């Protein structure tokens, strides 16, 4: 699976990028047909929860998308991964039927 991480208007730390790639690679345990993943990191103008992560997975048939905001990029990533796991479970059920 190809993982593309883009930070918008700032330079992401190498540790953060490795953290995100590791989390996304674990998604292949839930669904082995993931073609690629695009991750966008943004800092919004909110006073507290301003770290926004958007993840788009390409799987055969359609895309899966999740976006979350929190105080850190790591927390936002974890929240997105949880939402994507739920969506991957639904996609697997549709393929089984």
Calpha distance 7→43 (Å, rounded): 9
Q: Which of 73, 81, 13, 84 is nearest to 42 (CA)?
A: 73
pLDDT of residue 87: 93
Question: How far, in Å, are 60, 61, 88 from residue 65 at the CA level?
Answer: 14, 13, 10
Tens digit of pLDDT per residue, the chain (97 long)? 899 999 998 999 999 999 999 999 999 988 888 999 999 999 998 888 899 999 999 988 889 999 999 999 999 999 999 999 999 998 888 888 7
Domain annotation for the chain: domains and CATH numbers: 2-96 (3.30.160.100)
pLDDT of residue 42: 95
Q: Which of 60, 77, 70 is nearest to 25 (CA)?
A: 77
pLDDT of residue 17: 95
């Amino acid at each position: 699976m190809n993982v593309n991480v883009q930070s918008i208007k700032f330079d992401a730390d190498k540790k953060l990028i490795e953290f995100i790639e590791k989390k996304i690679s674990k998604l292949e345990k839930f669904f082995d047909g993931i073609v690629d993943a695009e991750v966008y990191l943004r800092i919004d103008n909110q006073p507290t929860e301003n770290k926004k992560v958007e993840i788009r997975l390409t799987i055969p048939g359609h895309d899966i998308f999740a976006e979350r905001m929190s105080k850190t990029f790591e927390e936002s990533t974890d929240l997105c991964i949880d939402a994507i796991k739920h969506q991957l479970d639904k996609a697997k059920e549709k393929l089984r039927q």
